[in-house]
A and B are shown apart, each in its own frame.
Chain A
Amino acid sequence: MTKKQDYQALSQELESVLAALQRPDVHVDEAVTLYEQGLKLAAALEGQVKDAENVIKKLKLQYGEDGNNA
């Protein structure tokens, strides 16, 4: 799982993991695996969100609030 992966796809994968975890018949071993998988996905997504925020901050500094050269 890399940061390069599509955010939308990762987010949907996490949704599926959460849905699986919420199933009443989920086995405990399965739950552990899903949980771990969910944590990894969340971490990857968080990384991407932080990157995006940083890019926006950087662009604001570089080009100013209005997109004009500051």
Chain B
Amino acid sequence: MSPDDITLSVSEFVSLVNQTLEYAYPAVTITGELANFRVSKNRWVYFDLKDDDASVRFFGTVYQLPGPLEDGMLLAVQGNPRLHQLYGFSVNIVRMRPVGEGSIKKAAALLEAKLKAEGLFDPSRKRMLPYPPRRIGLITSGESAAYRDFVKILNARWGGVQVELIDVQVQGEIAPLQITAAIEQFNQQAEPPDVLVVTRGGGSAEDLAAFSTEQVTRAVAASRIPTLVAIGHEVDISLAELAADQRASTPSNAAELLVPDRKHVLAGLQATRQQLYQSTERVIANARTQLKHTSQLARQAAEHTVRNAGQKLLLQQQLLQAFNPHAALQRGYAVVRSGNTVVNSGRALKAGTDVTITLSDSRVTATVKSVTMESK
């Protein structure tokens, strides 16, 4: 049967073409400039890819978009060519990404503007990282220099911090999915780590593209665990970094921000110890001065009291001497007694009364001859 003899119904023809296409091109990737981009009912996506001489129609859903797109961007679209029963030929999109420096930047700028408008990068959303953390959830490639640098600097500065790694690919198609899954996995742990660190070393704009995808940026922003994102590069900041609670320029810088340097802490402790010592010395010196002063006062008070007592006693002794009855006898006074009674008046005597006369050095007995009263 020659080809001329084949007669088919329209439906049969569509089926035959699709079978042929499926056989010839199970999947094909086409690169071209985006044109006539439109979204229908928030779900269906239609656009053309074109070059100078040709244009091809594409069809897909919004879930396959890498982010906001704009006509003129250069895209690489993988899809299945199909002939639709009603709408003609189009390529059904499987996945797509912007290509070329300009388009990648343009796509990133559009996505950044969209996420910024949603408030994902608001400074008010930023949380403080625990300092230092006890446990770190690390998301990076386990084989990378970034991983080794991070752990090396972390342990050199502080040590004793537990690091739990989820090993992911940090570039390529699968990277955004793995990074997002790792962030979610840490967040779902019964005892989640104190901080999440997402990091990789520097690379080309395409190498770093995973960290500017909508998926990863949203996962970082949604993390209940505080996040630190450090993507090593010079110029551009990835969107994941903008969404993170804190960002660092390199994996090493991330470790530096997370923990203090034990050398500095020890030096600080030494200074504090010195201050403590000096303060204590000062308190002791003050107490010593105070004590010296108090002791002097106490001694002076004691001396003063004793001196006063001595002086008062001397006066009392002088007064006592003034009333010394023996002194009167020595001056020629005498004490006359009748019996045991001291006679201080002549009325108590009469002629013939026996009396005892006490002198300073002796006792004399005598008899009264007469008594003459004297008027005063």
Residues of A within 8 A of B (CB): 7, 11, 14-15, 17-18, 21-22, 27-29, 31-32, 34-35, 38-39, 42, 45-46, 48-49, 52-53, 56, 59-60, 63, 65-68
Contacts and interface: CB of A to CB of B under 8 A. Distances in A.
Contacts of B303: 56
Contacts of A59: 299
B313 A66 contact: no
Given A21-B320, A60-B299, A67-B296, A45 B313 contact: yes
Interface majority SS (helix, strand, loop, mixed), chain B: helix
Contacts of B323: 18, 21-22, 31, 34-35, 38
B320 A28 contact: no
B130 interface: no
Q: How large is the interface on B (under 10, 10 to 19, 20 to 34, 35 or more residues)?
A: 20 to 34
Interface stretch (B6-14, B144-152, B194-202, B304-312): B304-312
A52 B320 contact: no
B308 to A, nearest CB: 10
The list of the 7 closest CB pairs from A to B, nearest first, reads A67-B295, A21-B323, A38-B320, A52-B306, A66-B292, A49-B310, A31-B325
Contacts of A45: 309, 313, 316
Interface of B: 291-292, 294-296, 298-299, 302-303, 306, 309-310, 312-313, 316-317, 319-320, 323-325, 335, 342, 344
Contact of B298 (A35, A46, A53, A67): A67
Contacts of B319: 18
